[in-house]
């Protein structure tokens, strides 16, 4: 089966390589290509291939879901039925006047006799040549049972799935080298070329795997969109997995880093955790994750890909993490030679375009003349056209509503954020999103489960720059169309815009405050004004926020931190209104279970030397003790209490862990705690 690229059933012919569906006019003649969305096409190809190999067998739903959506995506019953319905609509009824695809009790049957089709067919199109290189598979036969609550996927599983998927949904190098985000099929087929800086990355993480330290090694791959961060992380992860290391890669669109039972899964061996979607996370989530790995003494090595401008807000404490930053934005002559040689070998030079007729020094000069990210330089050198002009040309060919859809999605994806499908439906009320995504913008927009992106975040950035409509208008439309379930994603988007200080962000905060009845957005706007140095406006916004949402402890606490930074601490016994002490106490009153209010007030008293005893009202020890009982066992709160106790002049070391409130007792409490469940929704 895998040797054939063409199957036939009834009046249809299926090209497996690359996936296409044709109408069969006669025994030897194909007519028009059937208009079908990519997901439906993948379903038809998969089921037809299974029916050709095993005519009498049904396909289990779980196998179809894994082949089409991936095993790490939860597919609802409605989404599954809708996908099969779209495929049936595209095919029409079979000669027995029944649907080709039928389901029964979780099984799927393809109602057609599928045969291998004679390749000697008269038609206008021809298959592109596919030169693939098989990647050696890992010897790992038993994978850890990680469960659905694990926000990483085993890389060995992804590589095995990619090899299986190549039989029914092949992918050639043209798409990889034409500005699309890499997937595991590209890695399996070795389409990429090694980068010199990856040697430094691999040496660092392997050294730390052999010789663990008290800090968590964090390798940071820095680069702009198009510099190859994702490909670098996937290639490194695949290389480690092929050597039987335990390697996990962050799942898409999970907005958290949950790794329950990681200690049992790792089983005293080093575990490599790759995080490629850092902007989908709140910085607190990532820092808390590193803190937990260090506190639990888990032998983990973390590898992150991120923009240089974004990394500072995610950077963990150097006391917890050993950082190695590797900038792959600077590419060498050897990098250029590697990619040129790879292009020449896998595509016989056909993809070199304008580079093909140049000498090697001239090819280098063409890359250097582009002076941009690796992806942009390669495409510009090949086409001898400014990258912006090329992307604009793609946009200009789209119908008006498809162009609008592309620009709305680009407004998210420029920051590596995916747009929820339902949000795009709300933005295009008079048009079918399926028709827009799968037919009119086919190949430019990519759907993964309930999320939609462009082919690459760099294309999204360029598309937004060429949009004649002001970007702030696009974001206003998105906010106005958002539902309550989109609040966290909108908050994350506005946070990125505020950190980047994009024009119009204040107007967007106001818009979001009107749209969502939530303290999140006035709180974020106050922090934005604080970063700008406008402290009086920040205080006014905090005042408004706490007046409208008096039970929102984080806003009281954040306001208190601002007053503390300005030296307005207030009297210990009778703190003045709007002083730091008064505001921290208001945070505790608003929500006694909010640990950060207790932590902030306890640290303030400890820094002021007011340690007291656990029975002295409003002393540091009293505050930490009451916070511990009110808010529960919270790692940052206990850690702050432990540090304060160690710094106290009358430090209570304790004879054993049984001595309550002593250093030994606090340390024992801290080490017993599981991974804190930090909210992945920014602003909660």
Pick the residue with more confidence: 223 or 442?
223
Show which of 512, 529, 546 is a domain's final residue: 512
Q: What percent of the chain has pLDDT over 90?
A: 36
Query: Based on the domain organization, do 178 and 316 belong to the same domain?
Result: yes
Q: Is 138 part of any domain?
A: no
Q: Is 428 part of any domain?
A: yes
**Which CATH number fits the domain that encloses residue 306?**
3.40.50.300
Name residue 273's beta-bridge partners: 248, 302
Q: Whole-model pTM?
A: 0.67
DSSP class per residue in 239-254: HHHHTT-EEEEEPTT-
Query: Based on the domain organization, do 198 and 284 belong to the same domain?
Result: yes
Query: Based on the domain organization, do 316 and 450 belong to the same domain?
Result: no
**Which CATH number fits the domain that encloses residue 105?**
1.10.10.10
pLDDT at 607: 94
Average of per-residue pLDDT across 171-198: 82
pLDDT classification of 214: cutoffs 50, 70, 90: confident
d(C-alpha 413, C-alpha 416), whole Å: 5
d(C-alpha 170, C-alpha 191), whole Å: 13
The model's pLDDT over 451-494, given as tens digits with 9 standing for 90+, comes to 899 988 888 888 898 888 999 999 999 999 999 999 999 998 99
Query: Based on the domain organization, do 69 and 178 belong to the same domain?
Result: no
* Contact (Cβ atoms closer than 8 angstroms) between residue 255 and residue 231: no
Where in 28-113 does DSSP place strands (E)? 29-33, 59-60, 101-104, 107-110
pLDDT at 64 over 60: yes
* Contact (Cβ atoms closer than 8 angstroms) between residue 600 and residue 557: yes
Query: Based on the domain organization, do 310 and 337 belong to the same domain?
Result: no
Average of per-residue pLDDT across 229-249: 91
Query: Based on the domain organization, do 158 and 222 belong to the same domain?
Result: yes
Pick the residue with more confidence: 597 or 671?
597
Average of per-residue pLDDT across 325-333: 84
If phi over 0 gives left and psi between -120 and 50 gives alpha, with beta otherwise, what is residue 416?
A: left
Give the structural domain span for 99: 6-116
pLDDT at 27 over 90: no
pLDDT at 675: 42
If phi over 0 gives left and psi between -120 and 50 gives alpha, with beta otherwise, what is residue 619?
A: beta
Query: Based on the domain organization, do 362 and 432 belong to the same domain?
Result: no
Residue with tokens 């306890």: 602
Show which of 385, 400, 415 is a domain's final residue: 385
Q: Is 123 part of any domain?
A: no
d(C-alpha 38, C-alpha 444), whole Å: 12
CA dihedral 240, 243, 244, 249 (to 10 degrees): 20
Average pLDDT, the chain: 82
Show which of 459, 490, 512 is a domain's final residue: 512
Burial class (CB within 10 angstroms; exposed 0-12, middle 13-18, buried 19+) of 639: middle
Q: Nearest Cα to 489, choosing from 497, 470, 407, 464?
A: 497
pLDDT at 680: 32
pLDDT at 594: 93
If phi over 0 gives left and psi between -120 and 50 gives alpha, with beta otherwise, what is residue 514?
A: alpha
The model's pLDDT over 393-430, given as tens digits with 9 standing for 90+, comes to 888 888 888 899 999 999 999 988 999 999 999 998 88
CA distance to 590, 608, 630, 664, per residue, from 109 (Å): 58, 73, 57, 64
Q: Is 290 part of any domain?
A: yes
pLDDT at 145: 55
Q: How far is CA 284 from the centre of its chain?
A: 16
Q: What is the DSSP letter of 634?
A: -
Q: Is 139 part of any domain?
A: no
pLDDT at 599 over 50: yes
Q: Is 591 part of any domain?
A: yes
Query: Based on the domain organization, do 27 and 158 belong to the same domain?
Result: no
Query: Based on the domain organization, do 13 and 52 belong to the same domain?
Result: yes
Backbone angles phi, psi at 27, to 5 degrees: -60, -30
pLDDT at 74 over 80: no
d(C-alpha 441, C-alpha 454), whole Å: 10
The model's pLDDT over 101-151, given as tens digits with 9 standing for 90+, comes to 988 777 888 888 888 775 444 443 333 233 222 333 333 334 455 656 678
- Count up the domains in the chain and report the number: 5
Average of per-residue pLDDT across 195-209: 90
Highest mean pLDDT among 43-52, 81-90, 320-329: 320-329
Query: Based on the domain organization, do 463 and 482 belong to the same domain?
Result: yes
d(C-alpha 345, C-alpha 465), whole Å: 35
**Which CATH number fits the domain that encloses residue 638?**
1.25.40.10
Pick the residue with more confidence: 539 or 368?
539
Q: What is the DSSP letter of 309?
A: T
Query: Based on the domain organization, do 380 and 478 belong to the same domain?
Result: no
Q: What is the DSSP letter of 99?
A: B
The total number of residues shown for the chain amounts to 684
Q: Comparing 35-39, 190-194, 230-234, 567-571, which segment has the lowest mean pLDDT?
A: 35-39
pLDDT at 133: 29
Q: Is 677 part of any domain?
A: no
Pick the residue with more confidence: 562 or 307?
562
Query: Based on the domain organization, do 535 and 653 belong to the same domain?
Result: yes
pLDDT at 528: 92
Residue with tokens 């090697």: 360
* Contact (Cβ atoms closer than 8 angstroms) between residue 431 and residue 495: no
């Amino acid at each position: 089966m895998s040797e054939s690229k063409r199957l036939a059933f009834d009046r249809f012919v299926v090209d497996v390589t690359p996936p296409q569906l044709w109408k069969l006019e006669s025994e030897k003649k194909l007519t028009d290509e059937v208009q079908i969305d990519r997901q439906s096409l993948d379903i038809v190809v998969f089921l037809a291939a299974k029916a050709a190999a095993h005519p009498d067998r049904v396909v289990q739903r779980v196998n179809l879901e894994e082949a089409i959506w991936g095993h790490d995506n939860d597919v609802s019953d409605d989404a599954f039925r809708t996908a099969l319905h779209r495929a049936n609509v595209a095919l029409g009824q079979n000669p027995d006047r029944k649907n080709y695809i039928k389901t029964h009790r979780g099984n799927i049957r393809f109602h057609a006799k599928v045969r291998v089709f004679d390749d000697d067919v008269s038609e206008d199109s021809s298959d592109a040549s596919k030169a693939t290189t098989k990647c050696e598979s890992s010897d790992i036969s038993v994978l850890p049972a990680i469960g659905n609550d694990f926000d990483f996927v085993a890389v060995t599983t992804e590589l095995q799935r990619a090899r299986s998927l190549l039989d029914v949904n092949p992918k050639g190098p043209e798409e990889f080298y034409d500005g699309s985000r890499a997937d595991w099929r590209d890695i399996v087929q070795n389409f990429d070329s090694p980068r010199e800086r990856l040697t430094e990355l691999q040496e660092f993480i392997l050294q730390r795997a052999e010789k663990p330290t008290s800090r968590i090694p964090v390798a940071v791959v820095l680069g702009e969109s198009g510099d190859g961060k994702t490909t670098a992380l996937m290639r490194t992860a695949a290389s480690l997995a092929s050597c039987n290391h335990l390697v996990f890669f962050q799942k898409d669109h999970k907005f958290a880093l949950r790794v329950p039972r990681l200690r049992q899964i790792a089983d005293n061996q080093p575990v490599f955790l790759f995080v490629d979607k850092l902007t989908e996370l709140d910085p607190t989530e990532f820092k808390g994750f590193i803190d937990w790995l260090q506190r639990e003494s888990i032998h983990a090595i973390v590898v992150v890909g991120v923009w240089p401008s974004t990394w500072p807000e995610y950077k963990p404490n150097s006391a917890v993490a050993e950082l190695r930053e590797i900038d792959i934005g600077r590419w060498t002559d050897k990098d250029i030679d590697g990619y040129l040689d790879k292009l020449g070998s896998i595509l016989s030079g056909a993809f070199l375009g304008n580079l093909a007729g140049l000498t090697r020094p001239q090819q280098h000069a063409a890359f250097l003349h582009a002076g941009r990210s690796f992806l942009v330089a390669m495409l510009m050198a090949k086409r001898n056209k400014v990258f912006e002009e090329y992307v604009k040309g793609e946009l200009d060919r789209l119908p008006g509503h498809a162009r609008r859809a592309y620009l709305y999605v680009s407004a998210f994806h420029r920051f590596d954020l995916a747009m929820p499908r339902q949000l795009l439906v709300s933005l295009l009320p008079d048009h079918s999103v399926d028709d827009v995504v799968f037919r009119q913008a086919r190949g430019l927009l990519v759907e993964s489960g309930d999320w939609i992106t462009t082919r690459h975040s760099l294309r999204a950035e360029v598309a937004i720059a060429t949009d004649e409509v002001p970007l702030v208008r696009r974001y206003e439309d998105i906010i106005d169309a958002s539902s309550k379930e989109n609040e966290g994603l909108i908050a994350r988007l506005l946070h990125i815009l505020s950190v980047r200080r994009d024009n119009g962000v204040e107007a967007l905060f106001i818009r979001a405050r009107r749209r969502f009845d939530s303290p999140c957005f006035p709180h974020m706007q106050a922090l934005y004004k604080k970063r700008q140095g406008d402290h009086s406006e920040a205080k006014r916004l905090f005042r408004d926020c706490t007046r409208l949402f008096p039970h929102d402890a984080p806003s009281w606490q954040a306001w208190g931190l601002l007053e503390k930074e300005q030296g307005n601490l207030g009297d210990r016994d009778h703190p003045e209104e709007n002083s730091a002490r008064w505001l921290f106490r208001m945070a505790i009153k608003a929500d006694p279970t909010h640990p950060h209010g207790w932590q902030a007030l306890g640290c303030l008293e400890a820094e002021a030397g007011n340690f007291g005893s656990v029975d002295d009202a409003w002393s540091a020890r009293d505050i930490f003790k009451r916070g511990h009982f009110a808010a529960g066992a919270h790692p940052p709160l206990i850690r702050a209490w432990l540090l304060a106790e160690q710094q106290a002049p009358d430090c209570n070391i304790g004879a054993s862990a049984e001595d309550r409130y002593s250093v030994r007792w606090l340390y024992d409490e801290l080490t017993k705690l599981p991974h804190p469940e930090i909210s992945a929704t920014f602003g909660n």
